């Protein structure tokens, strides 16, 4: 009914959490529009009239293969119950408030993510201080995951400086996240933009110039990671050191935050400070993992001292191998490929296996 569409428009028009992409009164056009727009949630009026009525549209959308949650709107005279097996993820009965509408969306999306997260592991590699080897670890970790026969994507979340673009010596004309259509991202769009590294990892690059970073919105990031989850078994995100809105969106979208720390007093101080922030915004201890890079170069700080500062033992250790790592980086090659038997490569591979829930060494695919 037109009144229902206008009611939803009015409710969403006074808030910024949800963006309305399209309102369609013709049910026959919905499946095609959903395939093009790729919304996070679809709302269907149970009393929709026309050639394709509400119940039939629910069935058509369910049978289309488009994996999108459906919220059905109804009235008290036509009660309906939630039934995910029939393609009904939630039910809202008119009249409802804007709070109820947004809250329903949040619960539906959280439930969908909980059910799909086991199919894809998203790891954000983070450090509140530069110079700790974060980007190098992110790149080699992604390659190590792909060597375990896991379809892996690597995201350059350092939008301002494009650390991965620099590390891998990618030409400036190679597409970036900015080449994705805003709010209309489809799988084909991603495949056109992702850069295939010779090591077998698909990489979503940062913009080629510093000033372009501010053109990427939180909505762009959330939408892109959500779509990548549908296409890959593992996603590694190289995040910037600053806690901007975009950085927090990347961390929110991750299953694990792999925090890189070294035996450096400033790095340890910043890491502890950020961990307190993570706790205050609701990140549980199971989401945060610590990796000690250059673990064999303690600089006079003992392991017990580091564990006391962090409040627990680090989860992973990676030894230093300056000559190998620098040479590999200068060549734009992952050291887990160029020197798979080196101690530093074995440490990265063990980290990848553990993050996937594997306890034994898996065969490496060359």
Q: Are 315 and 288 in contact (CB under 8 A)?
A: no
pLDDT band at 260 (very low <50, low <70, confident <90, very high): very high
Query: Which CATH architecture fits 120-355?
Result: 3-Layer(aba) Sandwich (3.40)
pLDDT value at 247 more than 90:
yes
CA–CA dist 303, 360 (Å, integer): 25
pTM passes above 0.85 = no
List the chain domain ranges: 2-115, 120-355
- Tell me whether the CATH fold assigned to 2-115 matches the one assigned to 120-355: yes
Q: Residue 230: which pLDDT band, with cuts at 50, 70 and 90? A: confident
For CA atoms 74, 78, 82, 84, the dihedral sign is negative
- What does the pLDDT read at residue 10? 79
CATH homologous superfamily for the domain 2-115: Response regulator (3.40.50.2300)
Model pLDDT for residues 94-153, shown as the tens digit of each residue: 888 888 888 888 888 877 766 655 578 999 999 999 999 999 999 999 999 999 999 999
Query: Helix (H) and strand (E) counts for the chain?
Result: 14, 11
pLDDT at 366: 32
Q: Which long-range contacts (CB under 8 A, 24 or more apart) does 44-48 make?
A: 44/70, 44/71, 44/72, 44/73, 45/1, 45/4, 45/5, 45/72, 45/73, 46/72, 46/73, 46/74, 46/75, 46/78, 46/80, 47/1, 47/4, 47/74, 47/75, 47/78, 48/1
């Amino acid at each position: 009914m037109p009144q229902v569409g206008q009611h939803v428009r009015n409710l969403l028009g006074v808030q910024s959490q949800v963006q309305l992409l399209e309102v369609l009164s013709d049910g026959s056009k919905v499946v095609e529009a959903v395939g093009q727009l790729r919304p996070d949630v679809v709302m269907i009026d149970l009393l929709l009239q026309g050639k394709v009525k509400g119940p039939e549209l629910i069935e058509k959308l369910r049978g289309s293969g488009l994996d999108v949650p459906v919220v059905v709107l109804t009235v008290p005279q036509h009660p309906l119950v939630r039934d995910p097996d029939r393609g009904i993820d939630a039910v809202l009965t008119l009249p409802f408030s804007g709070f109820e509408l947004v809250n329903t969306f949040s619960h539906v999306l959280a439930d969908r993510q909980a059910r799909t997260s086991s199919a894809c592991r998203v790891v954000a590699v983070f450090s509140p201080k530069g110079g700790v080897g974060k980007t190098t670890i992110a790149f080699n970790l992604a390659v190590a995951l792909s060597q375990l026969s896991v379809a892996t994507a690597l995201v350059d979340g350092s939008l301002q400086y494009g650390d991965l673009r620099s590390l891998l010596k990618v030409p400036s004309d190679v597409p970036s996240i900015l080449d994705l259509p805003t709010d209309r991202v489809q799988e084909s769009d991603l495949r056109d933009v992702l850069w295939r590294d010779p090591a077998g990892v698909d990489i979503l690059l940062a913009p080629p110039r510093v000033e372009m970073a501010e053109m990427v919105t939180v909505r762009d990031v959330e939408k892109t990671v959500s779509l990548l989850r549908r296409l890959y078994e593992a996603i590694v995100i190289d995040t910037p050191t600053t806690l901007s809105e975009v950085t927090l969106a990347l961390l929110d979208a991750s299953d694990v935050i792999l925090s890189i720390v070294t035996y450096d007093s400033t790095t340890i101080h910043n890491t502890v400070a950020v961990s307190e922030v993570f706790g205050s915004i609701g990140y549980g201890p199971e989401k945060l993992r610590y990796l000690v890079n250059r673990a064999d170069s303690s600089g006079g700080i003992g392991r017990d001292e580091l564990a006391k500062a962090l409040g627990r033992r680090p989860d992973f250790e990676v030894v230093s191998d300056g000559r190998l790592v620098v040479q590999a980086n200068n060549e734009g090659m992952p050291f887990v490929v160029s020197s798979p038997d080196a101690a530093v490569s074995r440490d990265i591979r063990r980290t990848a296996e553990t993050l996937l829930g594997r306890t034994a060494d898996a065969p490496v695919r060359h």
